[in-house]
A and B are shown apart, each in its own frame.
Chain A
Amino acid sequence: MKIEILGSGCAKCKLLAERTEEAAKGLGLDFTLVKVTEYPDIVARGVMSTPGLVVDGVVKSQGHVPTVAAIKDLLR
């Protein structure tokens, strides 16, 4: 499973990355987590408000930081 965290590096993006890692480990997933910080790459994924969470190419959330529990639902 490929998980991407979209955001230019502000506090919200870091928080999302931490929570996503916690959620994915909690689920025992086999995953790689990549931070996408360059604007062209963020835009190319169709995301307009950061931070964004993209799983295997599908935008799962954008513009806010879900809780760990909510991220687990998004990853299942």
Chain B
Amino acid sequence: MTDASKSCACPAPTPASNGGFWRSGGWLLAALPAWIALYLILHPAADWLAFRVFGLAPGSRLGEAVAFFVYDAPKVLMLLGAVVLGVSFVQTFLSPERTRDLLAKRTGAWSNLLAALLGIATPFCSCSAVPLFIGFVRVGVPLGATFSFLVSAPMVNEVALFLLLGLFGWKIALLYTATGVTVAFLSGWVLGNLRLERHLEPWVLTVPFEPSRGAEVSAGFSARLELALQATKEIVGKVWPYILVGIAVGAFLHGYAPAELLARFMGKSAWWSVPLAVLIGVPLYANAAGIIPIVQVLLAKGAALGTALAFMMAVTGLSLPETVILRKVLKPRLLAVFLGIVAAGIVLVGFLFNLVM
């Protein structure tokens, strides 16, 4: 057991019980129109609250900061709730066991690409990283594909994709996802070709392992929906304080900081900002939902897109707790090579974006 396992930010969904129409999804019919209506009036309502109720002057520093916060905080939380609910529902159809079986008989670069893509949607918790790693390797998933999955799963998850979509538009969401998959694909492919099997801890290949059946939910629509609702409560319940702090910092900067504050040291002209952002981001551990409001601020205040995305990938894709966990299955040299290759891939992506955008 490691201390690292305690910091795992994964939901603990619980299967459903039986219930009437309301519990079996009827609430969704009422909640959906209410959600849409609320979302549509959010901007005018926030302005009304800030400038009329609080009596702040539009254009003043305090007024703009408060208006930003009362608009952005409910918006991000509403988006997050809706996204996590939808995603958790889809994830009741997926499991690491199913992903493992899909990957078991693949070889070559194709296995890395498939692993990187499956990592987007497969439910994954970093506290399961060790048994998952062994489960993959022992049923014949190539080592490189296993790494591709381990990089992609936390970094390019669906929550990140849809939050980016809601806050920055489809271009950045697509760019982040595509480059995240590319980093996972390439780093796994390189690692696979380095033939590093002998740098696995010996027990990985010798411990008795007989895969048991998958853990899919065998239930109907309403049970899956309740599972998804449970997961949503847990995830949103866990990340909302981080999001509010992120937005509050953002609101303060929005009102008080000059627009080009970060341009000098996180702008395109500062080439060293990309490796620095990755260096700062790697030891940090946060999930995508917590880091996105901060990325929003960085971008708004003049940080270059590549630098901001590289920072986000480094925070979500690699972390100190995960490194401690992976040390159980990887010898130090392989662990270092793994971290080095993924970090290098992220730095490359950052440079590339700053170059072309």
A residues contacting B by CB (< 8 A) are 7-12, 15, 37-40, 42-50, 59, 61-67, 69-70
Residues from chain A with Cβ under 8 Å of B213 in the complex? 59
Residues from chain A with Cβ under 8 Å of B123 in the complex? 63
**A49 lies within 8 A of B17 (CB):** no
| Chain A to chain B contacts (Cβ below 8 Å), 29 pairs | A9-B1, A9-B5, A10-B5, A10-B8, A10-B10, A10-B127, A12-B125, A12-B127, A39-B134, A43-B207, A46-B209, A47-B212, A48-B97, A48-B128, A48-B131, A49-B97, A49-B125, A49-B131, A50-B125, A50-B127, A50-B128, A50-B131, A62-B212, A63-B96, A64-B13, A66-B14, A66-B15, A69-B17, A70-B15
Q: Which residue in B5, B97, B207 is a CB contact (below 8 Å) of A40?
A: B207
CB distance from A36 to the nearest CB of B (A): 11
Whether A42 contacts B15 in the complex (CB less than 8 A), given A8-B2, A62-B215, comes out as no
CB distance from B129 to the nearest CB of A (A): 10
For B138, give the chain A residue with the smallest CB separation: A43
Residues in B191-250 with C-beta less than 8 Å from chain A: 203, 207-213, 215, 217, 227
**A49 lies within 8 A of B12 (CB):** no
For B212, give the chain A residue with the smallest CB separation: A46
Q: Is B328 an interface residue (CB 8 A)?
A: yes
Expressed in whole angstroms, the Cα–Cα distance for A63 and B210 within the complex equals: 17
Residues from chain B with Cβ under 8 Å of A37 in the complex? 1
Q: Is B6 an interface residue (CB 8 A)?
A: yes
Residues from chain B with Cβ under 8 Å of A62 in the complex? 212, 215
**A43 lies within 8 A of B15 (CB):** no
Say which size band chain B's interface belongs to.
Answer: 35 or more
Q: Which residue in A9, A40, A69 is a CB contact (below 8 Å) of B6?
A: A9
Most buried by A among B95, B134, B215, B217: B215
Residues from chain B with Cβ under 8 Å of A49 in the complex? 95-97, 125, 128, 131-132, 215
Expressed in whole angstroms, the Cα–Cα distance for A42 and B328 within the complex equals: 13
Give the number of A-B contacts (CB < 8 Å).
Answer: 102
Expressed in whole angstroms, the Cα–Cα distance for A67 and B8 within the complex equals: 21
CB distance from B2 to the nearest CB of A (A): 7
Most buried by B among A11, A42, A45, A65: A11
**A7 lies within 8 A of B328 (CB):** no
For A66, give the chain B residue with the smallest CB separation: B15
Residues from chain B with Cβ under 8 Å of A63 in the complex? 95-96, 123, 128, 215
Q: Is B301 an interface residue (CB 8 A)?
A: no
Expressed in whole angstroms, the Cα–Cα distance for A38 and B135 within the complex equals: 15
Q: Which residue in B12, B14, B211 is a CB contact (below 8 Å) of A48?
A: B211
**B215 lies within 8 A of A61 (CB):** yes
Whether A12 contacts B12 in the complex (CB less than 8 A), given A39-B131, A42-B131, A69-B17, comes out as yes
CB distance from A18 to the nearest CB of B (A): 12
Whether A64 contacts B14 in the complex (CB less than 8 A), given A49-B96, A49-B128, A49-B215, comes out as yes
Q: Is B268 an interface residue (CB 8 A)?
A: no
Expressed in whole angstroms, the Cα–Cα distance for A26 and B15 within the complex equals: 19
Most buried by A among B14, B130, B132: B14
What does the 1/0 interface line of B1-35 toward A look like (CB < 8 Å)? 11001101010111111000000000000000000
CB distance from A13 to the nearest CB of B (A): 8
